Structures are given as structure tokens and as C-alpha cells.
Structure 1
Amino acid sequence: MTLRGEKIYLRALEPEDLSFLMALENDESVWEVSNTITPYSKFVLKQYLENAHRDIYEVKQLRLVICEIETQVGIGFIDLFDFDPKHLRVGVGIIIFSETYRGKGYASEALKLVINYAFTHLSVHQIFANITEDNTTSLSLFENAGFKNAGNKADWILSGNKFKNEFFYQLINKK
């Protein structure tokens, strides 16, 4: 099974994920990485969930819930975005929401599963990620998964009153 690992599995969004999604999308501490500056209403997120079944070829994105196998609890999200079937590429972003689940290998396992999914089922040639220079945890995660730093976007992200560089990482499918 492509979306099941040893400690976690990835599943589609369900209507029951509304509270979890609201907590994440309205957490100002993650707005920088999600490029958000305003909170989302329950109504808007409900609509999003109602349309989450739409095909990645149509909406160019796919959000999966990262669930711990033992408890079946949702612990984070992994997103495929900017899917480009013509040029065979897709972006990836990941978040483990609670500190309780960080540093336990869940993100690494989820990233490996989604890489396999993207290369196998979407037949992409490359997967990319955008990571700020100070996000050392994500830099390590993606480098350990084989991603290479392919460039620096100088002063790309305005955080507070200071600009940050953002690195562009790629994983090219050599098969």
C-alpha cells in the first residue's frame, strides 16, 4: 500500500477533520509557511472539506492527513500543490501540528510515502519544496529524503519587519 508506513498512514480529508483543520489554519505561528495573513472561518473550511474530494488533475493540489497507526489520530498534514502534469512536477509541504508528535520520525515517513505516491501514481519527474533559511528542521528533513538545494530566493519572505531567504529544494526522479 503506497500510503501506509510503519508508524503512520496518509488518508484523504474527511468532514470530521474540520476542528483539526481550523486549529491549524488559524494558528498564527504557521502562517508564515502557509503564506496566510488572515484566519479562516468555519464556513470557508467546511466548503474546502466539501470539495476536498476533487481530483488533483483538476484542482492542482492534494492535502492528506498524517495519521498515527496505533491511535489513528491525525497528527499533521502533507500537501501536494502546484501540480503541473505538463512539466511533470509538484510541490510538497508538510506540518506535524503538535510538539508531542515532532521528532519521532513521522514527518520523515510521511514524506517518503508521498514521494513514492507522486513518482508512482502521478508520474512526476520532480518534487520541489520551498523552505526558509531558518527552518533547520525542515531543511534536515528534506535533505535526508534526498532533496537538493537548487537555489536561494533572497529576501523572499517578509516575517515581521525582517526579510528571510527561502531555499528552493528539488528531488528529481532519475528512473
Structure 2
Amino acid sequence: MITLSGNTIYLRALEPEDLDFIYTIENNESVWEVSNTQTPYSRFLIRQYLKNAHQDIYEAKQLRLAICQQETGETIGLIDIFDFDPKNNRAGVGLVIGSQSHRNKGIGSEALALVIQYSFQQLQLHQLYANIGSDNEISLQLFTKFGFQKIGIKKDWNRVNNVYKDELLYQLIQ
């Protein structure tokens, strides 16, 4: 898919071979705060999820794509279009880069640019939104860089280690 190919990365549909990578991401407690996860996922559940990953976005209301390096093909992250609402032409977007060694290298920016373009051109969406923890400075900078604007604050929205944190709602309208 040329639409989902950038300079250093490309985005692709999930494959059964992604099981170990997704298992590692979903069970990494350090990212649970951004993914609203509270319990570990078994390989069985992830395998079941991958069996249904072929579903069309109109059926599943979600599209999860692997972020891969152009040079090596290595999977280094995931980017999701979720809560897809074709009636109102909107969806949420979120991403995670798997290891610290791949972060702060422009991978998230390139992946987000590809998904924004895909969402507005191929899916004909009118808007994208992102839910970002108020203390997640890297994500706030990333989404702001692409024109997402803060439109709301959900006070004490998420409880993390018995501390309530605000979640910010960012929106990009085409």
C-alpha cells in the first residue's frame, strides 16, 4: 500500500506473526496508562484477536496497523484508528512505539502523518480525535505538531497508582 508508506517506516495490516510483539506491548505495564489496560492479555486472547484482524474497519469499527521499519521490516510499534464512526465521519487515533530505543526518532510523527492522510483521503473522515493524559508531554507535542487542538479536559478521568489524572481531548478537523 503506497498510501501507508513513508520515508523510514510503513504501516501494514496485522499478521499472525505479530503475536509476540502485540503480547509484549499489551503486557507492558508502563504503557497501560495510555491504553486504558488494567489486566494482562494471554497469548490465546491475542491469537483470537489476530484471527479477527481481517475484519473491515466498517465492521470492526477499528483498524490497528503495525508500524514497520522500511530497511529491515521490523515491527516497532502500533497505530490504531478506533471508535470509527462512519455516520459522523470521525474516529479516534492512538499509537505506541514498542521499545525506548525507537522512541524520539520521528517514527511516531511519520506514522501519525500517514494515518491522518489515510483517514482524510481514503476513509473520507471529517475529524480525528485523541485522548491524551495531561502529563504525557511527548504525545501532547506530537499531536499539537499536526494541528490537533485541545477542546476539552476530563477532570480526574483516569486513576493511576491511586492518583487521579486529567485526560485531555484533542481534535483535528479537516
TM class by shorter chain equals over 0.9
- Aligned CA RMSD, in angstroms, stands at 0.6
The amino acid across from 1:3 in the alignment is L
List 4+ stretches of structure 1 deviating above 3 A.
Answer: none
The amino acid across from 1:19 in the alignment is D
Is structure 2 residue 78 aligned with structure 1 residue 77? yes
1:72-100: CA deviation from partner (whole Å, max 9, x where unpaired): 10000000000000010000000111111
1:33-62: CA deviation from partner (whole Å, max 9, x where unpaired): 111111111111001001001000001001
Is structure 2 residue 23 aligned with structure 1 residue 22? yes
Q: What is the alpha-carbon distance in structure 1 between the residues aligned to residue 137 and residue 158 of structure 2?
A: 16
1:116-158: CA deviation from partner (whole Å, max 9, x where unpaired): 0000111110000000010000000000011111111111011
The amino acid across from 1:75 in the alignment is I
Q: CA deviation at 1:170?
A: 0.4
Q: CA deviation at 1:2?
A: 1.1
Is structure 2 residue 41 aligned with structure 1 residue 56? no
Q: What is the alpha-carbon distance in structure 2 between the residues aligned to residue 103 and residue 130 of structure 1?
A: 20
Q: Show the counterpart of 1:158.
A: 159
Secondary structure, aligned partner of 2:34:
helix
The amino acid across from 1:40 in the alignment is Y
Secondary structure, aligned partner of 1:83:
strand
Secondary structure, aligned partner of 1:2:
helix
Q: Show the counterpart of 1:87.
A: 88
User: Structure 2 regions of 5+ residues with no counterpart?
Assistant: none
What is the aligned residue count?
173
Q: What is the alpha-carbon distance in structure 2 between the residues aligned to residue 17 and residue 83 of structure 1?
A: 23
The amino acid across from 2:161 in the alignment is G
Q: Show the counterpart of 1:35.
A: 36
Secondary structure, aligned partner of 2:30:
helix
Q: Show the counterpart of 1:6.
A: 7
Q: What is the alpha-carbon distance in structure 2 between the residues aligned to residue 64 and residue 127 of structure 1?
A: 16
Q: What is the alpha-carbon distance in structure 1 between the residues aligned to residue 3 and residue 148 of structure 2?
A: 20
The amino acid across from 1:54 in the alignment is Q
Q: What is the alpha-carbon distance in structure 2 between the residues aligned to residue 52 and residue 170 of structure 1?
A: 26
Q: Show the counterpart of 1:147.
A: 148
Q: Show the counterpart of 2:106.
A: 105
